[in-house]
Structure 1
Amino acid sequence: MQALKSLLILILPIILATSCSSDGIDVDTVNIVDSTALPSDKTDWWKPQVGVSFDWDLADLEDKDQFDADVVDVDAFTTTKEQVAALHAQGKKVIAYLSVGTIENDRPDVHLLPKAVVGKVYDEWPDEKWLDIRRIDQLKPWLNSRFNMIIQKGFDAIEPDNLDSYSNETGFPISESDTRKYCDFLITMAHKNGLGIGQKNVPELAPEFSAKFDWALTEDAFDQGWQQDMQVFITKDKPVFAVEYTDMMSQKAFSTNVCPKAKSLRFDAIIKKRDLDKWTGRCQ
């Protein structure tokens, strides 16, 4: 019996580490970082100013990749510590793309989320499901793991995606007030760990949160006509990175219509393909 107990002690962690998510998706736990706590001992972080240039590349990085922009936004999971260091060596600041409002079914940390916080499929991105951001206590181990990974890789900031759950069919009664509380939590979490953090879209939050977030990133703001709402960041000397997409406008329309307006607003504007590969169009 004692030998059996010893055997169970040896194999149980292996069984747990190779368990499946709530959807039966196999997860690779090799890259899972300790989710129990964060250092939370920092008093300063990267605070970009108006005038820095931006690029966004969520394709897997290659060692030969070069970027003209001052700031590069890349995937938090697929980008390695060595690649972040290489970008720093080029004089770049590096932002980690991170979903905080959904879970992608191919991420290796799916199992850190209780079933109760995983909601409906995100219609526009069927490989993702919405999360119940009201349950910060239940999300904390998952968030801690992601933030620890980002810290260990040496990123300068995070891009928190999918903050707009209150305007989507998530399966949960999430309100704008819930989102404001979640944003406050994320901002505190980032800053206490030496990370900058930006506001991603949600222009209705800008009047209050332009004082809290360190920069803003917009998608389709000029095409949809809400770019002026983000100008409040510029008045606080915080940059606005404005991204338009080729599936909504041509490069000519971007150059003719968007670039003059962006220059007037002092936004850094680029045009990208919707899958955010390496190609980038810039204002001249």
Structure 2
Amino acid sequence: MTVALWATAAALVAVSLQGQVTAQVVDAAATTWWRPRLGYKFQYQLKMAFDVKRDFIPGVQARQRGASTWPGRRGAEIGREPPPPAEWVYLIDGFEATNADVAVILSKGFFPICYFSAGSYEDWRPDKGLFQASDYGSKLSGWAGEFWLDVRSANVKVIMTARMKMCKAKGFVGIDPDNVDAFANPSGFPLTAADQLAYNKWLAATAHGLGLAVGLKNDVGQIQDLVGDFDYFVNE
């Protein structure tokens, strides 16, 4: 599926999977990590066992970037990028992608984003044994083998930090942490809006500390409180 995301380095954006887009632009300081800009489109491809040679969609095209638009440049240069072509941002599963997959996506002129769940325990992930029984609660409705996490848990933060470091090591330029609205769902924990806000701010700060962009998935009720922390916002 292809999702168009209209964003700037300082945009409050809501995007639906049906293509409905609304945006409110706000001011933000320059950063030292990559951030999406107005006109970027997001290609979500979360197929399990993703193989870039087999699964990369050739119909989603991007122009080659010059040195001035390559990830890792200084933050002050970000605002001087030329208007981008269409599909530049490619989101894939962080666990399934290899370093080689990410390198190929970069070589094709795309910005690769690392998807993982930051708010749920998934019983098929390789790091599932690191979670404590007290870390996960109720099942996510409609998703087999997936349970809400207690975002107050220090152990959960240790695991999520390791996941973000994995994304960085594989060469991704940003992360797309999913399920960060447990407080608004029957999670099995007495989570408050303040608990969720603190966790989401922690996620953003940790990602930025690693030089990664970070997006807010859903949690639309807290966007106004998080617009200064996240680089893009997606609402399914």
State which of 63, 67, 75 in structure 1 corresponds to 2:53: 63
1:206 to 2:196 alignment: no
| Large movers: runs of 4+ above 2 Å | none
For the Cα contact (< 8 Å) 1:134–1:182, is it kept in 2? Answer: yes
* Distance in structure 1 (CA, Å) of the matches to 2:140 and 2:42: 27
* Distance in structure 1 (CA, Å) of the matches to 2:182 and 2:161: 21
* Distance in structure 2 (CA, Å) of the matches to 1:76 and 1:97: 5
Amino acid at match of 1:116: S
DSSP 3-state at the match of 1:212: coil
TM-score normalised by L of structure 2 = 0.72
* Distance in structure 2 (CA, Å) of the matches to 1:155 and 1:58: 15
User: Could you report, residue by residue, the CA deviation over 1:45-102 in whole angstroms, capped at 9, with x for unpaired residues?
Assistant: 1111111111100012331523331101100000111010000001100111110100
For the Cα contact (< 8 Å) 1:103–1:130, is it kept in 2? Answer: yes
Counterpart of 1:270 in structure 2 is none
Q: Which runs of 5+ in 1 are unaligned?
A: 1-42, 220-284
Amino acid at match of 1:119: G
Q: CA deviation at 1:145?
A: 2.0
* Distance in structure 1 (CA, Å) of the matches to 2:202 and 2:217: 15
Aligned sequence identity (%) = 33
User: Could you report, residue by residue, the CA deviation over 1:193-250 in whole angstroms, capped at 9, with x for unpaired residues?
Assistant: 000000111111111212210011121xxxxxxxxxxxxxxxxxxxxxxxxxxxxxxx
State which of 97, 107, 116 in structure 2 corresponds to 1:79: 97
State which of 95, 115, 133 in structure 2 corresponds to 1:115: 133
For the Cα contact (< 8 Å) 2:205–2:229, is it kept in 1? Answer: no
1:44 to 2:32 alignment: yes
For the Cα contact (< 8 Å) 2:165–2:210, is it kept in 1? Answer: no
* Distance in structure 2 (CA, Å) of the matches to 1:78 and 1:113: 20
TM-score normalised by L of structure 1 = 0.60
DSSP 3-state at the match of 1:83: helix
1:169 to 2:210 alignment: no
Amino acid at match of 1:126: A
* Distance in structure 2 (CA, Å) of the matches to 1:141 and 1:198: 20
Q: Which runs of 5+ in 2 are unaligned?
A: 1-30, 62-86
State which of 208, 211, 219 in structure 2 corresponds to 1:191: 208
1:98 to 2:86 alignment: no
Amino acid at match of 1:177: A
* Distance in structure 2 (CA, Å) of the matches to 1:210 and 1:70: 22
> Larger Rg: 1 or 2?
1
For the Cα contact (< 8 Å) 1:199–1:213, is it kept in 2? Answer: yes
Amino acid at match of 1:87: I
Paired residues, what number? 176
User: Could you report, residue by residue, the CA deviation over 1:148-173 in whole angstroms, capped at 9, with x for unpaired residues?
Assistant: 21111000111010011111111100
